[in-house]
Amino acid sequence: MVKIHIDKKPIDVEEGTTVLKAAETAGISIPHLCYHDAFPPEGSCRMCLVEIEGLPKLELACSTQVRDGMKVFTKSEKVVEARKGVLEFLLAEHPLDCPICDKAGDCKLQDYYDEYGLFESQFRESKEKREKKDKIGKSLIHDEERCILCRRCVRFLREITETQELGVFERGIHSRVNIYDLTPVDNNYSGNLAQICPVGAITDEDFRFKTRSWFLKKGESICPLCSRGCSITIEYHPGFSHFGVPSRVYRIQSRENQEVNGFWICDMGRYGYSYLSENRLDKIVINNKEWNIQPTWEDVSYFINQQLKKLDEGKKTSQTVLILNTWLSNEELFLIHKIFKNDQNLERIFFADRPQAEKDDFLLTAERTPNKKGALEMGFDMKPANPGALSDKTDLLLAFGSFLAEQISAADLKKALEKIETKVLFTSHENELNSLFDIVLPTALIPEKGGSLTNIDGKIQKFSPVFEPPGDSLPEWMMLADLGRKFGINSSFYGEFKTPETIAKEIENEVPFFREQK
Amino acid sequence: MIKALGYFIEIIRGIVITSRHFFVNMFFHILKVLGIKTKRKGAVTIQYPEQKKEIAARHRSLHRLMAREDGKPRCVACMLCVTVCPSECIYVEAAEDPDLEMQKYPSKFIIDIGRCCFCGFCVEACPEDAIRMDSGEIDFAGYTRDDLVYDLDKLLR
């Protein structure tokens, strides 16, 4: 530990820390553009200049390590003037096209000009014309005029993906970042480039001109598209209701989580957000002609309860089938285990999930099952659902999710389901599968409910609702806790479960794995 | 009976007020005819809508979108007007312009005049001087709410 003073504030930091990080721990922010926590310091933007007592010139905060007794000044006259000068040089060739720049609002150069610049331009010469719209990758557009040559993108491709598609060409004022020999940036992590670019030089084609970043509301969530469970920020627009424009997710950004995904997410998770708003089911669908009213959850839960009670004890365990999936949270799987396995003694519990798919050797896993580990630890044996599983006599089928259609062909499924008397489906989307069931209940997706998922490495990650589920959709845990209460075997036990947190506490009491992880 | 008397008192008060206005105005008009300058002028009734008063130079009337020389809107769909609008009456959708100098243009630009409070913030916020409220149009009543929703075709001129 060394003792240093930053702006006369004494702080103790580990030896080897940089001045920039030390200042951050003390709550003093030093402006920086090229420095990123994921890479070693580069020192090319010169924004982080600070004054250090005893040294003749200003030093770079991002690459200077602390020494015992160091006295750093981040707001002294010299520093403020130097920052202004650096900004002026950075902006000398930077176009003033913030109105059409997708980075505006998130742009660090914009923020720093507001905070430390606010000067009139002294340049009388016109700015250089460069390539404004250069498609350098799958979904990346490069604007050479906006680039400040911080080389974050080059370093990302060199150090993180190790694919090295970008480089800096030519020298001096002609320096520019570009691809080699027209070979585009084509890896599963290219979307991160648009996110780490401190200015709008690399922007995302997917987000291009869609909206402005300051309209977006942000919420923290977890990506459920593979079993890694990367931390993400979902950015959505609540919609202009009076112009008939509905709420919509505009982009997904990665969120720092050193234990799981570092700073990055893969492109599949970044661009695969359409499922959140497309084809959503928003009201209860009844395909049984005996029902001539539009039922509420109350009616349906009463109906399920009656159906289950109708079957006598011996039949109930063998003639009721439950099909689950791993998009269900730990809390929901726990409730299902409690209600259907412990209370009702059901034996025929199957899982229908997305099939395995391509993986890479960084974050993306082959398993497209966000909570497989959680389901296994909860005590499910995870038998896959197949036509054979449904071939025995079945009176009641409760299925969760639409992944059944991905595992069993439509014809087989139709044949298997025809013989079943009562079929209830809990799903979040409109699907061909839905017409085969008597009752289809709309459910909430991960960003619309609270709970936790256990990722492939056994890390339990909590998530909370970012936005409201559409229409009459309800989170599964709410419906399950209600079913538990209605079945009446242990009503007071399920009555406790008013929030996912209360369920999580009970899981810790009962399941050793979850207790240990805590 | 006493109640009926009350009505008569009010009628008489009304007649007194009307006549006072008539005679005071008459007095100032006569002074004007005689060429005597006074600070106060006699009131004049403008026969609207046949006759219209001139609109002050800085009056905020119906919005218009300015066009470039080639007829395309000046607007680059930066949505600052949408951001600043306190009554949320502007809706803009941007699209990609093949012209690299332009890049972004509004494929939809809707102002719901029924919601607009004519504060003029959109005009002040616009970095391209693309929206102005100087059209001089002040009569834009409609029979339905949709009549008051102005799109790009109606606004651009």
- Listed residue (B77, B89, B62) closest to B127, CA to CA: B77
Contact at CB, A242 and B115, closer than 8 angstroms: yes
Asked whether residue B55 is assigned to any structural domain, the reply reads: no
Q: Write down the pLDDT at residue A326.
A: 94
Q: How far is B33 from chain A (nearest CA, A)?
A: 56
* Helices of type H across A184-273: 191-196, 267-271
pLDDT at A388 over 80: no
Cβ atoms of A139 and A204 closer than 8 Å: yes
Average pLDDT over residues A322-329: 94
Q: B49: cis peptide before it, omega within 30°?
A: yes
Helices (H), A55-145: 77-92, 108-112
**What's the whole-number mean pLDDT along residues B107-133?**
95
Contacts of B88 in chain A (CB under 8 A): 240, 242
Q: Considering CB atoms only, which of A99, A208, A245 is closest to B78? A: A99
Shortest alpha-carbon distance between residue A202 and chain B (Å):
15
Percent of chain A with pLDDT over 90: 76
User: What is the average per-residue pLDDT within A140-149?
Assistant: 95
Mean pLDDT to the nearest integer, B51-56: 90
Judge if B69 and B141 occupy the same domain: yes
Residue B54 and residue B44: Cα distance in Å, rounded? 14
A96 touches chain B (CB under 8 A): no
Specify whether the CB–CB gap between A473 and A495 falls below 8 A: no
A5: pLDDT confidence band, cut at 50, 70 and 90?
A: very high
Contact (CB, 8 A) for A429 and A276: no
Cβ pair A99:B115 closer than 8 A? no
Q: What is the pLDDT of residues A463-511, one digit of tens each?
A: 999 999 999 999 999 999 999 998 888 888 998 899 999 999 999 999 9
Per-residue pLDDT for B23 more than 90?
yes
Domain ranges (residues) in chain A: 2-92, 98-204, 214-276, 285-516
Q: How does residue A414 score in pLDDT terms, banded at 50, 70 and 90?
A: confident
B23 and B73 fall within a common domain = no
pLDDT band at A146 (very low <50, low <70, confident <90, very high): very high
A400 beta partners: A426
Q: Taking a C-beta distance cutoff of 8 angstroms, is the pair A339, A480 a contact?
A: yes
Q: List phi, psi (to 5°) of A136.
A: -105, -5
Query: Is B56 inside any structural domain?
Result: no
Residues B112 and B75 in one domain: yes
Chain A CB contacts of B96 below 8 Å:
208-209
The 10 Å Cβ neighbour count of residue B83 is 15
Mean pLDDT on A110-135: 91
Report how far residue A190's alpha carbon sits from residue A188's, in angstroms, rounded to the nearest whole number: 6
- Residue A383 clears pLDDT 80, i.e. is over it: yes
Intra-chain end-to-end CA distance of chain A, in Å: 30
**Tell me, what CATH number does B86's domain have?**
3.30.70.3270
Kindly state whether residue B58 falls inside one of the protein's structural domains.
no
Q: What is the pLDDT, as a whole number, of residue A405? A: 84
Answer yes or no: are the C-beta atoms of A204 and A226 closer than 8 Å: no
Which amino acid is present at B106? P
Which tokens sit at A259?
């234990």
Q: Are A460 and A517 in contact (CB under 8 A)?
A: yes
Facing residues of A150 across strands? none
State the pLDDT at residue A317. 77
B79 neighbors B94 (Cβ within 8 angstroms):
yes
| Nearest C-alpha neighbor of A118 from the set A97, A95, A145, A91 | A91
Compute the average pLDDT of residues A28-33: 95
Q: B78 vs A100: CB contact, 8 Å cut-off?
A: yes
Please state, in angstroms and rounded to a whole number, the distance separating the CA atoms of residues A204 and A191: 7
For A271-290, letters b (16+ CB in 10 Å) and e give: bebeebeeebbeebbbeeee
Statement: residue A362 has pLDDT above 80: yes
Count of structural domains, chain B: 2
Q: Report the interhelical angle of A476-487 vs A500-510 (nearest 10°).
A: 70
* String of DSSP letters for A46-59: -TTEEEETT-SS-E
Please, are residues A325 and A446 in contact by the beta-carbon 8 Å criterion?
no
| Coil/strand/helix, residue A247 | coil
Owner of token pair 């007592």: A53
Does the A98-204 domain belong in CATH 3.30.70.20? yes
As a whole number of Å, the CA-based R_g of chain A is 28
Tell me the average pLDDT across A71-96. Answer: 94
What would the pLDDT profile of A165-177 be if each residue is shown by its tens digit? Answer: 999 999 988 999 9
Above 90 in pLDDT, residue A387? no
User: Three-state secondary structure along A70-84?
Assistant: CEEECCCHHHHHHHH
* A111 to chain B, closest Cα gap in Å: 17
Say what the pLDDT of residue A182 is.
84
Residue contact B80–A215, C-beta within 8 A = no
Q: Which residues contact B58 (CB under 8 A, 6 or more apart)?
A: none
Q: Are residues B89 and B24 in the same domain?
A: no
CB spacing of A209 vs B77 below 8 angstroms? yes
Beta strands at A49-52 and B90-96: parallel, antiparallel or unpaired:
unpaired
Q: Could you give the C-alpha distances from A457 to A228, A373, A515, B49, in angstroms and in order?
A: 8, 8, 16, 77
For A2-92, CATH number out of 3.20.20.70, 3.40.50.720, 1.10.10.10, 3.10.20.740 equals 3.10.20.740
Residue B100 to residue A212, Cβ atoms within 8 A: no
Q: Cβ separation of A243 and B91 shorter than 8 Å?
A: yes
Q: To the nearest whole angstrom, how far is the Cα of B146 from the nearest Cα of chain A? A: 11
Domains A2-92 and A285-516 alike in fold: no
One-letter amino acid for residue B96 of the chain: E
Angle at B26 between CA B23 and CA B31, to 5 degrees: 130
A214-276 is classed CATH 3.30.420.40: no
Give the pLDDT of residue B4.
84
Residue B51 lies in a domain: no
A132 touches chain B (CB under 8 A): yes
CA of A241: which chain B residue's CA is closest? B88
At A408 the pLDDT is: 83
> What CA–CA distance (Å, rounded) separates A108 from A264?
19
User: What is chain A's mean pLDDT, rounded?
Assistant: 92
Per-residue tokens: A24:
């951050």
> CA A61 to CA A6: how far, in whole Å?
11
- Whether B144 and B101 share a structural domain: yes
B59 lies in a domain? Answer: no
Work out the percent of chain A whose per-residue pLDDT is above 70: 100
What's the token pair of residue A209? 């001109």
**Quick check: A262 pLDDT over 90?**
yes
Chain A environment of B110 (Cβ under 8 Å):
243
Query: Among partner residues B91, B104, B127, which is closest to A209 by beta-carbon distance?
Result: B104
Distance CA B137, CA B144 (A): 19
Predicted local distance difference test score (pLDDT) of residue A432: 86
- The answer to whether position B52 is within a domain reads no
Per residue, the 3-state secondary structure of A453-518, as one string, reads EECCCCCEEEECCCCCCCCCCECHHHHHHHHHHHHCCCHHHHHCCCCHHHHHHHHHHHCHHHHHHC
Is B23 in the same domain as B86? no
Q: Is the pLDDT of residue A78 over 90?
A: yes
Q: Is A99 within 8 Å of B127 when comparing Cβ atoms?
A: yes
Q: DSSP letter string over B11-49?
A: HHHHHHHHHHHHHHHHHHHHHHHTT---SS-------TT
Q: What is the pLDDT of residues A184-212, one digit of tens each?
A: 999 999 999 999 999 999 999 999 999 99
Per this entry, what is the length of chain A?
518
- Pick from A99, A104, A209: which is nearest to B96 by CB? A209
State how far the alpha carbon of B125 is from the alpha carbons of A237, A283, B113, B132, in Å: 22, 42, 18, 11
Q: Is A489 on the interface with B (CB under 8 A)?
A: no
Does any CB of chain B come closer than 8 Å to the CB of residue A135?
no
Which is higher by pLDDT, B126 or B37? Answer: B126
- Mean pLDDT of all residues in B109-118: 95
Q: What sign does the CA torsion over A161, A162, A165, A166 have?
A: positive
Alpha-helix runs per DSSP H in A253-323: 267-271, 297-310, 313-319
Residue B29 lies in domain: 1-45
- Domain presence at residue B20: yes
E strand intervals along A264-412: 285-286, 320-324, 348-351, 383-384, 396-400
Taking the CB of residue B21, how many other CB atoms lie within 10 A of it? 11
Which residue of chain A has the CA closest to B98? A133
CATH number of A285-516: 3.40.50.740
State whether B73 and B145 are in the same domain: yes
Contacts of A242 in chain B (CB under 8 A): 88, 112, 115
Phi, psi angles (nearest 5°) of residue A295: -75, 160
